[in-house]
């Protein structure tokens, strides 16, 4: 099962289904989790084999190494280009700024056309004063 695998082996698949205990602990043993394990043993001689089994389990569990990593999705572009998500975010922000500027310019043009069609005369500098 997952805990009987050699701690030095680099196996990517952990067989959680082989044991009820490791199936229950699946979320705690893998991924980006922090886990504390408390093993309880009985001092009674009649439970010596169970206590020994528990101690062996604890010793194997102690050698489990978690490799946490950030949970982030990468789109196809990021994977192909090998660029960091910060560069992508900066690029998207610049594109959005340019689109906003174009939209503002288009709004001014449409407003001018509307005023001309309605026969309203205006001074462009007075409109700019009203915006600020």
pLDDT tens per residue across span 22-36? 777 777 766 677 778
Residues 6+ apart with CB under 8 A from 25: 35
CATH code of the domain containing 54: 1.20.58.1980
pLDDT of amino acid 57: 84
What predicted TM-score, i.e. pTM, was given to this entire model? 0.38
Which of 24, 48, 70 is the C-terminal boundary of a domain?
Answer: 70
pLDDT score for 4: 54
41: left (phi over 0), alpha (psi -120 to 50) or beta: beta
Q: What angle do CA 41, 46, 51 make, to 5 degrees?
A: 25
Phi-psi sector, 93: left (phi>0), alpha (psi -120 to 50), beta: alpha
> In total, how many domains does the chain have?
2
**108 lies in the same domain as 55:** no
| 90 and 110 belong to one structural domain | yes
If asked whether residues 66 and 2 sit together in one domain, one would say yes
Provide the domain limits for residue 107.
76-131
In this prediction, residue 16 carries a pLDDT of: 55
65 and 17 housed in the same domain: yes
The gap between the terminal CA atoms of the chain, to the nearest Å, is 70
Q: Which two tokens stand for residue 131?
A: 């915006």
Q: How many CB atoms lie within 10 A of CB 22?
A: 20
What is the tens place of the pLDDT at every residue in 26-83? 777 666 777 788 889 988 999 999 999 989 988 888 887 777 776 666 666 656 555 5
């Amino acid at each position: 099962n997952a805990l009987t695998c050699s701690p030095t082996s680099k196996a990517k698949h952990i067989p959680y289904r082989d044991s009820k205990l490791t199936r229950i602990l699946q979320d705690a043993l893998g991924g980006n989790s922090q886990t504390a394990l408390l093993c309880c043993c009985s001092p009674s001689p009649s439970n010596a084999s169970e206590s020994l089994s528990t101690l062996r389990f604890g010793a194997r569990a102690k050698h489990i190494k978690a490799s946490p990593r950030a949970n982030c999705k990468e789109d196809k572009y990021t994977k192909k280009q090998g660029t960091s998500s910060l560069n992508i975010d900066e690029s998207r922000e610049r594109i959005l700024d340019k689109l906003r500027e174009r939209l503002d310019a288009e709004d001014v043009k449409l407003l001018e056309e509307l005023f001309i069609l309605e026969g309203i005369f205006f001074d462009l500098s007075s409109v700019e004063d009203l915006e600020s």
